Amino acid sequence: MVRIVSSQHDSPRGRWTYSEWRPSELAGLVELIWETRGTTTEPQDRHYPHGMFELLVNLMGNRYRLLQPRGAGTFTTTWLVGQQLGPIVTAPPDRHHVLGIRLRPAGAYALLAAPLGVVTGLVVELEDLVGPTVRELVERCRDAPSVAARFDLAAAWLAARLTGACPIDPTIAWAAAEIEAHEGSVAIAELRKETGLSKTRLAAAFREQIGVTPKVYARLVRFRLALAMLESGVAPLADVALAAGYYDQPHFNAEFRDFTGQSPRELLVARYPSGVPIVRTDE
């Protein structure tokens, strides 16, 4: 049974509905498929790195102006967000209807059939990467009668393109899984020892198939955990830093500034509203 989780936001910042689904048949390749639809009054929207890739479909066709990172421009239909090492800042339209597919590195590598490092730090037109086939996804989703129908169409479109695609190298998949299993707190030297790869070869393979080096990937995984804890409000900042594997508060603060442009406290007090949650809100 398909389980779609939905939530509604209604405040002076705007009104929107957010829905997500985790397709089990694409586990390991797709983290989730999501949709947000509604209105916003905020002049800017801010999103943070999470160690994955976002395939975005603008179902209204209105303009999204990208203010940050490099490669900034205007997007109207489909675009891909590569691995990010800093915040993405957009000037969203007043009304929006966006469908997204959050790809794990293995899914992005299979879909793009190209080194993932070339899109690290960038937001690029999706059609430039996968060709005009993406127009089919846009047209079908615009005509779909419901969120569930759009999610099914997106999953089917992606599955068709991943069938027979080049998989990630098993050695690199194992190393990435180890980093995730240890929530970023893993010795990269031990990964090199277990894989039998030199520092240079392991870093190069990760850049190609994950988008960043193993050290940076570990930082992203650790940051994702810390941000989830921070947004849940379950513990004081010092406890979050310790639980997420940061050796002291200055290190914790420095990582947040690198990835968000703000300290943890500043992020909580003055952050931009986000129409797309970084973490699940139903658990």
CATH, domain range 170-270: 1.10.10.60
Residue 275: pLDDT band (50, 70, 90) is very low
Residue 234: pLDDT band (50, 70, 90) is low
CA distance 236 to 31: 28
Q: Cβ(141)–Cβ(99) under 8 Å?
A: yes
CA distance 61 to 12: 25
Question: What residue spans of the chain are helical by DSSP H?
Answer: 105-112, 126-130, 134-143, 147-162, 170-181, 188-195, 199-209, 214-232, 237-243, 249-260, 264-270
In b/e form, how buried is each residue of 75-106, taking b as 16+ CB within 10 angstroms?
Answer: bebbbbbbbbbbbbbbebbeebbbbbbbbbbb
| Predicted pLDDT of residue 253 | 92
User: Tens of pLDDT along 107-154?
Assistant: 999 999 999 999 999 999 999 999 999 999 999 999 999 999 999 999
| Angle between helical axes of 214-232 and 249-260 (0-180°, round to 10) | 100
CA distance 236 to 249: 12
Query: What does pTM read for this prediction?
Result: 0.91
Residue 275: strand, helix, or coil: coil
- Fold: same for 4-162 and 170-270: no
| Predicted pLDDT of residue 71 | 53
In the predicted structure, residue 31 carries a pLDDT above the cut 50 = yes
CATH homologous superfamily of 4-162 equals Jelly Rolls (2.60.120.10)
User: Tens of pLDDT along 258-274?
Assistant: 999 988 888 877 553 44
Give me the residue spans of the domains in the chain. 4-162, 170-270
| Predicted pLDDT of residue 70 | 62
Mean pLDDT of 168-177: 98
